[in-house]
Amino acid sequence: MVLESLVHSSSYFILGPLVFGLINDLDLVKSLSEIGIAFLLFVVGLEIDIKKLKEVGWIASIGGLFQVLLVFLLGYYVSTSLGFKHEVSLYLGIALSFSSTMVVVKLLSDKSEIDTLHGRIILGFLLMQDLIAMIVLALMLGIGDGFSWLVLLPILIKSLVLLLLALVSSWFIFPRLFDFAAKSKEFLFLSSVTVCFLFALVADVMDFSIAIGAFIAGVALAPLPYATDVKGRVEPIKDFFATIFFVSLGVQLVFTGLGSMIELILIFLSFILVLKPLLIFILGILFGYSSQVSFTAGVYLAQISEFSLILISSALVLGNVSAPVFSLIVLLMALSVVTTSYFIEHAHSIYGFQKNFLEWFERFSIVKREKLEYGNKSVKKSAVLLGCGKMGMMFIETLKKLKQDVVILDNNPKVIQNLMTTKINCRYGDATSRVILESLNLKSVKIIISTIPDLKVNQFVLNYIKFINPEILVILTANRTKEVLDLYDLGADYVIVPRVISGSNISEMLLKVFKSKKNLGILREENLRVLEKLQSLGMG
**Averaged over 325-346, what is the pLDDT?**
86
CB half-sphere exposure, 431, CA atoms < 13 A: 32
- Is pLDDT larger for residue 175 or for residue 434? 175
Measured torsion, CA atoms of residues 211, 213, 219, 222, in degrees rounded to the nearest 10: -90
Domains and CATH numbers, the chain: 2-363 (1.20.1530.20), 373-536 (3.40.50.720)
- Is the pLDDT assigned to residue 2 strictly greater than 50? no
- Is the pLDDT assigned to residue 18 strictly greater than 70? no
Task: Quote the pLDDT of residue 93.
Answer: 93
Task: Quote the pLDDT of residue 149.
Answer: 57
Task: Quote the pLDDT of residue 174.
Answer: 92
Is there a contact between 264 and 293 (Cβ–Cβ < 8 Å)?
A: no
Question: Which of 344-358, 399-413, 510-524 has the least mean pLDDT?
Answer: 510-524
Note the Cα 468 to chain centre separation in Å. 33
Note the Cα 253 to chain centre separation in Å. 29
Q: How far is CA 414 from CA 54, 296, 357, 393, in A?
A: 12, 19, 29, 14
Indicate the average pLDDT of the chain.
Answer: 82
DSSP letter assigned to residue 14: H
Is there a contact between 12 and 248 (Cβ–Cβ < 8 Å)?
A: yes
Distance CA 440, CA 470 (A): 17
pLDDT category of residue 42 using cuts at 50, 70 and 90: confident
User: Hey, is 284 helix, strand or coil?
Assistant: helix
* Closest of 193, 210, 188 to residue 201, by C-alpha: 210
Task: Quote the pLDDT of residue 252.
Answer: 61
For the beta carbon of residue 299, count every other beta carbon within 10 angstroms: 21
- Is the pLDDT assigned to residue 81 strictly greater than 90? yes
Q: Each residue of 526-537: pLDDT tens digit?
A: 767 766 765 665
Q: Each residue of 487-524: pLDDT tens digit?
A: 999 999 998 888 777 666 767 777 777 777 777 777 67
* Closest of 437, 296, 465 to residue 377, by C-alpha: 437
- Is pLDDT larger for residue 142 or for residue 449? 449
- Is the pLDDT assigned to residue 72 strictly greater than 80? yes
Task: Quote the pLDDT of residue 23.
Answer: 53
Task: Quote the pLDDT of residue 276.
Answer: 95
- Is the pLDDT assigned to residue 9 strictly greater than 60? no
- Angle, helices 26-46 vs 101-110, to 10°: value is 50
**Averaged over 203-227, what is the pLDDT?**
86
- Is the pLDDT assigned to residue 455 strictly greater than 80? yes
CB half-sphere exposure, 184, CA atoms < 13 A: 7
Q: List residues bridging with 386 in a β-sheet.
A: 409, 450
- Is the pLDDT assigned to residue 5 strictly greater than 50? no
Task: Quote the pLDDT of residue 7.
Answer: 45
pLDDT category of residue 10 using cuts at 50, 70 and 90: very low
For 371, phi and psi rounded to 5 degrees?
A: -70, 140
Number of H-type helices and E-type strands within the chain: 26, 7
Is there a contact between 324 and 257 (Cβ–Cβ < 8 Å)?
A: yes
Distance CA 99, CA 96 (A): 8
**Averaged over 256-267, what is the pLDDT?**
75
